[in-house]
Amino acid sequence: MKKDGIINNTATDPNKILPMKYLWAREYYKSGVANNWTPEEVSMQKDVEQWQSPTALTDLERKLVLWNLGFFSTAESLTANNIVLAVYTHVSNPECRQYLLRQAFEEAIHTDTFIYCCDSLGLDPDYIFNMYKTIPTIREKDEFVVNLTTTIFDPNFKTVGVSNIQQFILDLVGYYMIMEGIFFYAGFAMMLALKRQQKMVGIGEQFEYIMRDESLHLAFGCDLINTIVAENPDVWTTEFQDKIVGLVDKAVVLERKYALDACPQGLFGINAEQFCVYVEHMADRRLERVGLPKLYFKDNPFPWMAQATDLTKEKNFFETRVTEYQTAGSLKWE
């Protein structure tokens, strides 16, 4: 029997995008287009001066810049690979695929940002782009996500049956909720804290644009999870829910380790523990977004992080919003 659905769709033509079934996916595409940017639009002049100056930055500030460039430079590519080599294969719905193509393009823009930063600051690319192998707290984060999701890269893998659909959801949990939704956020907070002190403002602005993109990516991923679960309710067992909560909890431990490693003594009155509290606050938001219970119950220690994206949201999102499409109703900006 032919079956319609966001995965395992055999009822409709994957190349026929109209009429659309998942209007929220189209809304993400329009929002992504409205956020268009490229790294070269941002001047690196001040950053270059500060990077070359013997006094503008402390050794600890330099370290956290390098650690974050190192982590993000390859995390973007791991994420892109997952979209193109795994998610796209199994989500054959055309409006979702249109957004996945947009997301993949944005990951290329993000990778381009780290090329631009390496070039502008004269950093050794081998040093930066190998940090996901050479720096243990970065390597552990990437390995955690990659190891969670190896099975679905098997060319014979199909999203058929409860256990395989759960495997596929674990991939989405790994890349959207954990990689983009948790592992990116200590770094975002550190780089934006630097920018607030007028340090490395060019990179800081690029990180703001990346964060704005990522907030859409991870919200799309969570909506994808929610839709798969709604259409395949058998997969959402108590055991499976507990497994996801446990994975988020483990990821938070790794992100705490990373934050304390990248920024051991804190920054401008922010102590290192506050970065960890911020990560816990974000982890709870990811859990809530897929209907799972919160773990940490921490207030956001950095309300200015929400403001940073709110400003750009008003400038670039709501003014250009297309209203004839149903909104996702839950587009979140951090």
Measured CA to CA, the distance from residue 262 to residue 32 in angstroms comes to 30
- With CB cut-offs between 5 and 8 Å by kind, which of Fe ion, Mn ion, none does residue 313 bind? none
Question: 147: helix, coil or strand?
Answer: helix
Which residues in 201-230 contact Fe ion (CB under 5 A)?
Answer: 214, 217
Task: Verify binding: residue 313, Mn ion, rule CB under 5 A.
Answer: no
Q: Which of 116, 132, 185, 278 is catalytic?
A: 116
Closest separation in Å from C-beta 74 to Mn ion: 11
Binders of Fe ion in range 239-278 (CB under 5 A): none
Cβ atoms of 71 and 131 within 8 Å: the answer is yes
Pick the piece of the chain touching Fe ion (CB under 5 A) from 34-42, 134-142, 153-161, 174-182.
174-182
What is the contact mask toward Mn ion in residues 102 to 131, using x (rule: CB under 5 A)?
A: -----x--x---------------------
Distance of CA 71 to the CA centre of its chain: 12
Q: Which of residues 33-52 bind Fe ion (CB under 5 A)?
A: none
Q: How far is the CB of 37 from Fe ion (least distance, A)?
A: 14
What is the C-alpha end-to-end distance of the chain, expressed in Å?
Answer: 41
CB of 80 to Mn ion, least distance (A): 8
Q: How far are the Cα atoms of 110, 114, 119, 158, 306 from residue 77, in angstroms, in the given order?
A: 9, 11, 18, 24, 26
Q: Concatenated DSSP letters for 282-296? A: HHHHHHHHTT---S-
Token readout for 196 is 């607030």
Q: Which is nearer to Mn ion, 8 or 113 (CB)?
A: 113
Choose among 228, 132, 242: nearest CA to 183. 132
User: Which partner in Fe ion, Mn ion, none is near 76 (CB below 5 to 8 A by kind)?
Assistant: Mn ion
Which option in Fe ion, Mn ion, none does residue 255 bind, with CB closer than 5 to 8 A by kind? none
Cis peptide before 14 (omega within 30 of 0): no
Q: State which residue, 72 or 240, has the beta carbon closest to Fe ion.
A: 72
Task: Tell me how many residues contact Mn ion (CB under 5 A).
Answer: 3
* DSSP string computed for 65-77: HHHHHHHHHHHHH
Active site residue 296: no
Shortest distance in whole angstroms from residue 312 CB to Mn ion: 16
As given in the structure block, the two tokens for residue 169 are: 């959801």
Binding of Mn ion by 76 (CB under 5 A): yes
| C-alpha distance from residue 302 to each of 267, 270, 299 (Å) | 13, 9, 9
For Mn ion, which is the closer residue by CB, 176 or 236? 176
Residue whose CB is nearest to Fe ion in the complex, by number:
217
Angle at alpha carbon of residue 240, lines to 239 and 242, rounded to 5°: 65
Using the contact rule CB under 5 A, the part of the chain among 72-80, 95-103, 144-152, 270-278 near Mn ion is 72-80
Give me the residue whose beta carbon is nearest to Mn ion.
110
Task: Provide Rg for the chain, Cα atoms.
Answer: 20
- The nearer residue to Fe ion, 214 or 280, going by C-beta atoms, is 214
| Interaction site with Fe ion (CB under 5 A) | 180, 214, 217
| Interaction site with Mn ion (CB under 5 A) | 76, 107, 110
Which residues participate in catalysis according to the annotation?
116
